[in-house]
Each structure stands twice: as structure tokens, then as C-alpha cells.
Homo-oligomer: A and B are copies of this chain.
Amino acid sequence: MNRIGSYTFSIEAGDVDIFGKYPLPVLVRKMLDCAGYHADERGWGLRHLNAGNCSWVLARAAIELENFPEIYDQIVIQTWVEDLNKHFSTRNFSFQNQKGEILGYARTVWSMIDLNTRKAVDLTVVSDISNHKVDKECPIDKPGKIGIVSCEPEYFHDVKYSDLDINGHVNTCKYVEHIINLFSSGIEQIVVLKRFDVTFLSESKLGDRLHFHRATASDHETQIEITGHNSRSICRAKITFKK
């Protein structure tokens, strides 16, 4: 089996945003679906792990696109494992359109937990992932460290049914959706979004109140932090816009 997974799909009219572009939260969802297909096909997907009471946990991600896919595009997402140690596995992605043009790349960092103890599991003992490592170019920076955003929250969201995944936690893509929605009052900025870095620090559940803090670092860089009860940090993101 090829070490690189390659998945093609079409972008439908119902998928795109007001600009006719594929929205970042939906692209992240699709990217994670492709990670799932790739891992499933090779025997270490969620359906195998859950049988052993383990699960993948996304720790950090960076996604950087020169151009977002558009309505009726056919896109190809490729994904592969770059590296692996006891604590983390790094999985990369490339995004390509029907003309074969590279739209961008993503880098993700995963750990694995035991669903009973909620503690990390040694990744090197899980099947043969390390035999699937690929030395393929991924010419974007690694997910950056993102500091605390100390200003007051500007928006609140109480976690609802549609935010939850099968583990009862807020879904990764929903964090991305709520973060991007902070730009709704200056919506034209979303069209020039170039790079999204995110770090997940703790979980949130049904009924939790999420506090959204935003700091504009420069014309083309904004940091966002989501905190919960007692200022517990849940998630931090950095958005870089085209200059």
C-alpha cells in the first residue's frame, strides 16, 4: 500500500461561503476525514483504536494556503506520516486543485490517549506506524507556539449539541468555526486569510461557557484564545492574513 493517502472530492454549491470559497472550518473537517481514511486503511484508525479503548487527540495544527478551493473545484488532499516518537506523531497534508496546482499544505501533531485513564499512550508500541513514515516535502513552518491572550473576552459561546463529538467534547472543527466567526463584522478579512495555527490545551463539554479573547498583533496577524471556567485555557490560535 502506498504510504501517501490521496483523496479526491468535489466542492458543491452548498459547501462554499459567501465568497464562493471553501471555508476554513469545512476544509479542516475534510482534512481530518482524510487523516481518518489514511489511518483506517492502515490499521490504526479510530475504529481500531476505540476497540482497544484508545483514541487520537489533535494537539497542534498549522494550515497555510495561497488560495482556497472554490465552488465546483475538484480537490485532492494528500496525507502522510512525517515522524513519530513515544509522545507525538506528525501528519502532513497537501491540497491540490484539478489543474494540479498546489493550493497549500498543513502540518498536524497528534498524541494518543487511553480513554479510561485519559493518559497518554506510548505511540511507538501501536502497530507499525513508524514503517509508514514518508520523507516528503511540506514547505510550511511547523505549528507555532502561541502565548496567552490577556485582554478581556469579546464574545461568549455556551457549548451546544452541534458542537459535540462522539466523545462528548467540543469538536475541533467547531472551535475553528467559532474562531473564524469572530471576523463576521469585518468579513472581507476572511478572504485574505493565509495561515491558521492552533494549539489545543484542554477539553470542553456541553453547557461550558467559552470565552473568546482576541489580540491584534499587527495588520496581518491576530491571536485568539478560548478560555473556560476559572480562566482555564482551552485553545489558542494565530491567524495570519496576506500582506
Seen from chain A, the residues whose Cβ lies within 8 Å of a Cβ on chain B are 12-14, 16-20, 23, 25, 29, 32-33, 36, 46-47, 71-72, 158-162, 164-168, 171, 173, 177, 180-181, 183-185, 187, 190, 206-207
Contacts and interface: CB of A to CB of B under 8 A. Distances in A.
A166 B20 contact: yes
A206 B177 contact: no
A36 B10 CA distance: 12
A47 B165 CA distance: 33
B14 A171 contact: yes
A13 B36 contact: yes
A236 to B, nearest CB: 20
Contact of A17 (B47, B166, B187): B166
Stoichiometry (number of copies): 2
A161 B26 CA distance: 13
Contact of A46 (B13, B181, B187): B13
A141 B241 CA distance: 50
Given A17-B161, A25-B162, 19 more contacts: A12-B33, A13-B36, A13-B47, A14-B32, A14-B173, A16-B166, A17-B165, A18-B164, A18-B166, A18-B206, A23-B162, A71-B166, A161-B183, A161-B184, A161-B187, A161-B190, A162-B177, A184-B207, A185-B207
A25 to B, nearest CB: 6
A86 to B, nearest CB: 24
Contacts of A20: 166
Contacts of A72: 47
Contacts of A47: 13, 72
Contacts of A161: 17-18, 23, 180-181, 183-184, 187, 190
A99 B99 CA distance: 39
